[in-house]
Amino acid sequence: MIKTPICELLGIKYPILQGGMAWIADARLAAAVSNGGGLGLISAMNADGEHLRSEINKVRALTDKPFGVNIMLMSPYVDEVAQIIIEEKVPVVTTGAGNPAKYMEAWRAAGIKVIPVVPSTAIAKLVARKGASAVIAEGGESGGHVGEITTMALVPQVCDAVDIPVIAAGGIADGRGIAAVFMLGASGVQLGTRFLVAEECGVHRTYKDKILKAKDIDTTTTGKRLGHPVRVLKTPFAKEFLKMEYDSSISNEELEAFGGGSLRAAALLGDEKKGSFMCGQIAALVNKEQPASQIISEIFEEAEKVLCGGTKCVI
Amino acid sequence: MTTFDKVVELLVDAKDCEKDSIKLESTWADLSLDSLDTVELVMNLEDEFGIQLEMNESLKTVGDVVRAIDEGLEQK
């Protein structure tokens, strides 16, 4: 049995969070993860407050376990959704794509646990000082918006930088990954890609098939030129985007416009020509569809075995 | 040593900026610093001066940071 401070902090059985993937992490997936003993997350993405409120109500109808909301700080509705989190008394908030400092006081005052995704030690220190309950150190192996530093390098550095629990993300899809980041000092994990193929995940069939088929070298990062790199599968769309990125006759505005709506096209429509199929480098290890609860129990059983065998190299 | 001198020293030491290229009106982009660099810089300045700086959009240039530090020091 694996138990860490994250279990107690969040009131969950297994120290695992499901990534707050935009257009993918909805009430059904979040509830399935929470019912399976982890912390399910709804993505507030770029949608307005009422969309989020309706998803929150749906989660509550499906589970009485704790759940969270991921807030994308670049969303045009960020002020509105930040307020709805408080009104709806959401137990946990994770944040991405920016600095959540300006909302943290109000969230904490409302008794909400705030767990920002941090791409560097300085940001980890900053949010720890503002009262974060934990941080998610997310390495560049992960899917979607990524930083430069890898999980292997980032996690121990963040663990050294702050006194609050660290949750590792990026490049983890099985028990070995969990055991490895625990060795680096993390006390929890966040997985996205593996949950893409959970039975309760409503992402388009084509998206799931692509994840199941993906091999080690099948992802790339687009958007570096625009300052916000995104890890995606090397689909025709991604290849075209990369070509345009290296073409100096194409303006940044044209490039932004070409990429607009591409995650929605992948997640909802499975459109290979216009879709950005975001996923982590670990997609190659994701080979079977299972209920979320089974994914969770299986990977922690495996992690336990790996951790127990960890002394075999010590003589 | 003025606040500006100390900020320059930190930029040269921690971020490998060219000393002569740092002016009060230099923006972060002028110095090739991204958002992660600027958060790190502000955290280092807080430790150095023993003050709290609000990291927000109003800090666009080296001069903005120097002014914010001086205001923080006055309030100390």
Residue A113 lies inside a defined structural domain of this protein: yes
DSSP chain B: --HHHHHHHHHHHHH---GGG--TT-BTTTTT--HHHHHHHHHHHHHHHT-----STT--BHHHHHHHHHHHHHH-
- Nearest residue of chain A to residue B42 (CA atoms): A122
Indicate if the pLDDT at residue A272 is higher than 90. Answer: no
Chain centroid to CA A91: how far?
17
Q: Does A294 touch chain B (CB under 8 A)?
A: no
Looking at the fold, whether A130 and A225 belong to one and the same domain comes out as no
Indicate if the pLDDT at residue A271 is higher than 80. Answer: yes
Structure tokens at B28: 């972060």
For B39, the domain range is 3-75
CB burial of residue A152 (10 Å; 0-12, 13-18, 19+): middle
- State whether A120 and B55 contact (CB < 8 Å): no
CATH number for the domain harbouring residue B63: 1.10.1200.10
Q: Does B24 touch chain A (CB under 8 A)?
A: no
Looking at the fold, whether A241 and A156 belong to one and the same domain comes out as no
Output the CA–CA distances (angstroms, integers) from residue A17 to A3, B44, B66, in the order listed.
14, 31, 41
Do the Cβ atoms of A104 and A67 come closer than 8 Å? no
> A152 vs chain B: nearest CA distance in angstroms?
19
The Cα B17–Cα B22 span in angstroms is 8
Residue A209 lies inside a defined structural domain of this protein: no
Query: Which chain B residues have a beta carbon less than 8 Å from that of A116?
Result: none
Q: Look at phi and psi of residue A18 and say left if phi exceeds 0, alpha if psi is from -120 to 50, else beta.
A: beta
Interface test with B, best of A121, A154, A158, A252 (most B CBs within 10 A): A121
What integer is the mean pLDDT of B38-43?
88
Give me the percent of chain A exceeding a pLDDT of 90.
79
For A262, the domain range is 215-278
Q: Is B34 a catalytic residue?
A: yes
pLDDT at A49: 85
Q: Look at phi and psi of residue A261 and say left if phi exceeds 0, alpha if psi is from -120 to 50, else beta.
A: left
Indicate if the pLDDT at residue B56 is higher than 80. Answer: no
Please tell me which residue in B20, B34, B37, B70 is annotated as part of the active site: B34
Looking at the fold, whether A152 and A258 belong to one and the same domain comes out as no
> A123 vs chain B: nearest CA distance in angstroms?
7
Q: Which residue has the tokens 């299986």?
A: A298
Residue A96 lies inside a defined structural domain of this protein: yes
Query: Which chain A residues have a beta carbon less than 8 Å from that of B40?
Result: 120-122
CATH number for the domain harbouring residue A122: 3.20.20.70
What integer is the mean pLDDT of A61-76?
94
Put simply, the chain A residues between 113 and 152 with a CB less than 8 A from any chain B CB are 119-123, 125-126, 147
Summarize pLDDT for A124-167 with one digit per residue, the tens: 999 999 899 999 999 999 998 888 899 999 999 999 999 999 99
Strand (E) or helix (H) holding A66: none
- Nearest residue of chain B to residue A118 (CA atoms): B36
Looking at the fold, whether A189 and A227 belong to one and the same domain comes out as no
- State whether B36 and A120 contact (CB < 8 Å): yes
Summarize pLDDT for A172-220 with one digit per residue, the tens: 999 999 999 999 999 999 999 999 999 999 999 999 999 999 999 999 9
Kindly report the average pLDDT of chain A as a whole number: 93
Measured over the CA atoms of residue A101, residue A189, residue A149 and residue A234, the dihedral's sign is: negative
pLDDT at A151: 97
Q: Does A111 touch chain B (CB under 8 A)?
A: no
* Structural domains of chain A, count: 2
Of residues A259 and A28, the one with the higher pLDDT is A28
Helix/strand/coil for A275? coil
Residue A210 lies inside a defined structural domain of this protein: no
- Looking at residue A168, its amino acid is A
Query: Residue A74's pLDDT band (boundaries 50, 70, 90)?
Result: confident
pLDDT at A278: 95
Give me the percent of chain B exceeding a pLDDT of 70.
99
